Chain A
Amino acid sequence: MRVPFNLALGAALVALVLAVALVSLVWTPHPHAALDVANKFAPPSAVHWLGTDQLGRDLVSQLMVAARNSMAVAVLAVGIGCALGTGLGLLAAARGGWTEEAIMRLSDLGFAFPALLFAIMLAAVFGPSLPNVVIAIAFINIPTFARVSRAAANQVWRRDYVWAARAAGMGRFAISRDHILPNIAAPVIVQMTIEFAVAILVEAALSYLGLGAQPPNPSWGRMLSEAQTLMYLAPQLAIWPGLCIVTAVLGFSLLGDGLRDITDPRLTRVRAA
């Protein structure tokens, strides 16, 4: 099968960002928080590949650690949101009736609640921090995954093999685990990939507002906000983190689109025509 272009490009971009994030765990060109005020706003050089910022910190090192923070937030938040949301969606499809109705109306309520507002609330109560960002993003992901998994699960519940499993005396929860979950994995994984992109964007936005990573822990969003006042003096300080955000978000979006193209049978038929 030919790999679609968006899938290949998305996978490449995501692999690049992930590789950078992983490398930052063991190696960065300089300690990311090391100040060198004498050497501030240094241009790109062999020592500082992309130069230094207003406090003389190495830009490459900061971007690398920020990539790690961004990935960690996205993976944790989407992972938690997906686990809880998919669990609720499976439960809704398995029980039907008022349980399904209650879960779906609650998730409508969740959709109506802006992530930013929720994060600001958390920050006001518990103080701004990355864990709170994780909680906020996980929370907004729950209704998304509940909806996607319930819709897919309701289709699988009508399949003959689910009837055969029921006739063999399997309960709703055993059927959900053994038959429904594996057969809704494709749309859920596609949704996860797309939500990674959203999570990266939300994390950047929250950090930009000062609600995410706190200094000296770097974040693309906070680097942007710090560079904002220096736009005319040192535009590269805003351009590089911005490019990083674009790369990561575009990568996950394309990957998600590409995965959907190859896993959704309805789209496959359209493409073949």
Chain B
Amino acid sequence: MIAARGLSIRTGAGHAAVRSADLAIRPGERLGVVGESGSGKTLLALAMIGMVPEGLQVSGEIAVGGTVVAPGDEAAWQRLRAREVAMIFQEPMSALNPLARVGDTIAEPLMVHRGLTRSAARAQARELLEETGIPQPERRLDQYPHELSGGQRQRVLIALALACDPALLIADEPTTALDAAVALRITDLLVRLARERRMALLFISHDLAAVARTTEAMLVMYGGDIVERGATDRVLADPAHPYTKGLIAARPSLAQRGRRRLPTIPGTVPPLEALAEGCRFAGRCPVELPRCVHLRPAATATASGSAACHLLGAAP
């Protein structure tokens, strides 16, 4: 089990990009994180693998398999990466070294972490590629990234992430750069791999349909706060937080094609320093109360899980 408690990430200027987030992922669980750009979902994911960029301050507690790891303990994180937590990235076109053969890229962590010989690592790399469903895995080993399509590269990156059999795979918008048909196949592949390997999956996306298809539980993030969480199907069917409601209402639907303008959430995500101290959604919220700007709402139980909104709780 991998868990974060009271995880905060601050910029050098002291603005919170993630505010005391709690999350826990049990073995085999598939958890989605949904939010706009700038909602802190990628930073949250990077913190779970100890790779928050330099210059940002991480505080709070991260526990991997029962042991607490300090956010800045690079040596400890390096031992955990690949074996406990692995990650795949948004942009498969640039996430592979253009000068290295695909087989070598996958074989390298196998040799480093598992002490395999070059030939054993190569054989293992072939098996991993086969597991990701890439056509002609044997041939791919000796190919360079420019010879592969975007979907094939994402499969190679998945094979690389799976190399040391991690307990948790973090997928940071793995399908954003891919076309819709390939994206569907990649999300299905992730679900299949998570099931077969009893591997937890942290699936980050702004695509509600992809999250619905991939995950059992989900978190909704806005402005660095987790505003709602619960079982994926129930949150999507019965959202409690005004932001989640707005997000779901803004989904295009074939049934309503052409009948009306797509609803939107007015305004844009303000820059970090302009976010309200209380509820981050204050200022764009359609049902805002006077206290929302100053007072941060606590998570309150809802029908589908919990949400942080003053409308849901008892008056303070």
Interface residues of chain A, those whose CB is within 8 Å of chain B, are: 96, 159-161, 163-171, 174, 178-179, 182-183
Q: Within 8 Å CB of B99, what residues of A?
A: 182-183
Which residues from A are CB-within-8-Å of B112? Answer: 169-171, 174
Chain B residues within an 8 Å CB radius of A165: 97, 105, 108-109
In the bound complex, do residue A179 and residue B81 qualify as a contact, i.e. CB atoms below 8 Å apart? no
The answer to whether A167 touches B100, judged by C-beta atoms less than 8 angstroms apart, is no
Which residues from A are CB-within-8-Å of B113? 169
Q: Are A171 and B89 in contact (CB under 8 A)?
A: no
- The answer to whether B94 has its CB under 8 Å from any CB of chain A is yes
Given A160-B95, A182-B97, A166:B81 Cβ within 8 A: yes
Q: Complex formed: what's the CA distance from A163 to B164 in Å? A: 17
> B residues within 8 A CB of A168?
81-82, 86, 108-109, 160-161, 163-164
Contacts of A179 in B (CB 8 A): 97, 100
B91 at the A/B interface (Cβ < 8 Å)? yes
Closest 5 CB pairs of A and B: A169-B82, A169-B81, A167-B87, A160-B94, A160-B95
> In this complex, what residue of A is CB-closest to B170?
A167
Q: Which of A160, A167, A182 contacts B49 (CB 8 A)?
A: A167
Contact with A along B178-194 (1 / 0, CB 8 A): 00000000000000000
On whether the beta carbons of A169 and B109 are closer than 8 Å, the reply is yes
- The answer on a CB contact under 8 Å between B89 and A164 is yes
Q: A169-B83, A169-B109, A174-B112 are in contact. Are A164 and B160 (CB under 8 A)?
A: yes
B157 touches which of A96, A164, A183 (Cβ 8 Å): A164
Residues of chain B contacted by A178 (CB below 8 angstroms): 97, 100, 104, 108
B98 to chain A, nearest CB (A): 8
Q: Which residues from B are CB-within-8-Å of A166?
A: 51, 81
Residues in A neighbouring B97, C-beta threshold 8 A: 161, 165, 178-179, 182-183
User: Is B117 close to A, CB under 8 A?
Assistant: no
Q: Which residues of A contact B163 (CB under 8 A)?
A: 168
A150 to chain B, nearest CB (A): 16
B interface residues, tally (CB under 8 Å) = 32
How long is the Cα–Cα vector from A96 to B54 in the complex, in angstroms? Answer: 11
Q: Is B78 an interface residue (CB 8 A)?
A: yes
Can you pick out 25 interface pairs between chain A and chain B where the beta carbons lie within 8 Å of each other?
A159-B94, A161-B94, A161-B98, A164-B87, A164-B88, A164-B89, A164-B95, A165-B108, A165-B109, A166-B51, A166-B81, A167-B49, A167-B89, A168-B108, A169-B79, A169-B109, A169-B164, A170-B112, A174-B108, A178-B97, A178-B104, A178-B108, A182-B97, A182-B99, A183-B98
**Shortest Cβ gap from A129 to chain B (Å):** 40
Cβ A161 vs Cβ B82 within 8 A: no
Report Cα–Cα, A182/B105, bound state, in Å. Answer: 13
Contacts A163-B95, A167-B82, A168-B81 given; 6 further ones with Cβ under 8 A? A161-B98, A165-B105, A166-B81, A168-B160, A169-B113, A182-B100
Chain A: CB-nearest residue to B162: A168
Interface residue? B96 (CB, 8 A): yes
Contacting pair A170 B108 (CB below 8 A): yes
Partner of A170, one of B80, B87, B109, B161: B109
Neighbour of A160 across the interface among B81, B89, B100, CB < 8 A? B89
* Residue ID in chain A nearest B91 by CB atoms: A160
A167 touches B94 (CB 8 A): no
- Assess the A163–B51 pair: CB atoms within 8 A: yes
What chain A residues lie within 8 Å of B88 (beta carbons)?
164, 167
Check A167 against B78 for contact (C-beta < 8 Å): no
CB distance from B51 to the nearest CB of A (A): 6
Q: A178-B97, A182-B97 are in contact. Are A163 and B81 (CB under 8 A)?
A: no
A93 to chain B, nearest CB (A): 13
